[in-house]
Structure 1
Amino acid sequence: MDEKETQIITYDDFAKLQLKTGKVLECVKAENAEKLYILQVDLGEEKPRQIISSLVDYYSAEALVGKEIVVLANLKPAKMRGHLSEGMLLCAETPDSSVCVLLKAETSVPSGTSIT
């Protein structure tokens, strides 16, 4: 598919996505990867989720702690550089990757709140 071509999906496809608010509890740089952070994110569940993200060029680890974010919560877990990632942070990124910002709710809401 061409980079600029948009794939149209149905509402049923969209409804499969579980988007939730979360709060970053902890963030450390992955020792074996130059651009990866290992984050512990509260999604209002029994225990935090570990999410691996390539935000090193855009945020310091300290700046991420405490951030309220939006997470794709039902993405199949995957290993990244040997670390299990249990979700995906959502960001807005320019085509040239010069700007990348985390998405968040307009006002503070409890961790685990569904995005609809």
Structure 2
Amino acid sequence: MIRASLLIGGALLLSACSSKPEVPVLAVESQQLHQRVNGKGQDEFAFVVTVKATPQMNLDTSKPVSRRELKRFADQQRVEDSPELKLKLEDEAVVRLKKALKEARYCESGYKIERVFWRDRSVQLRGICQ
């Protein structure tokens, strides 16, 4: 009896995990690296990564909504609304920053990201060279 309960519980747990929607792939629209020397003589940078807009799905409530449409609506994730996608974008921006700094031959002895700013579809990383 206990064994059957464990099997059923395990099956429920696995089905709950497998039904979680996958995080959509972020399509980067643009990235920009800005460089300057601040008043203290330190090299600074600002790196902005913007993703393409995800169209918002609308439900036509003038007619009955199918279970499938309702599930798609509930599972839809937009970077503007999802903390999970924002963190994914931030991670992607850090990877792209490293590559952009190397290509620009800027901060060759290292860098430190000091601040992160968010907009609807973009993230800005600001920091200094070491």
Same fold (TM over 0.5): no
Give the structure with higher Rg (CA): 2
Relative contact order, CA 8 A, sep 6+: which one is greater?
Answer: 1
TM-score by length of 2: 0.27
Q: Which has the higher helix share?
A: 2
**Larger relative strand fraction:** 1
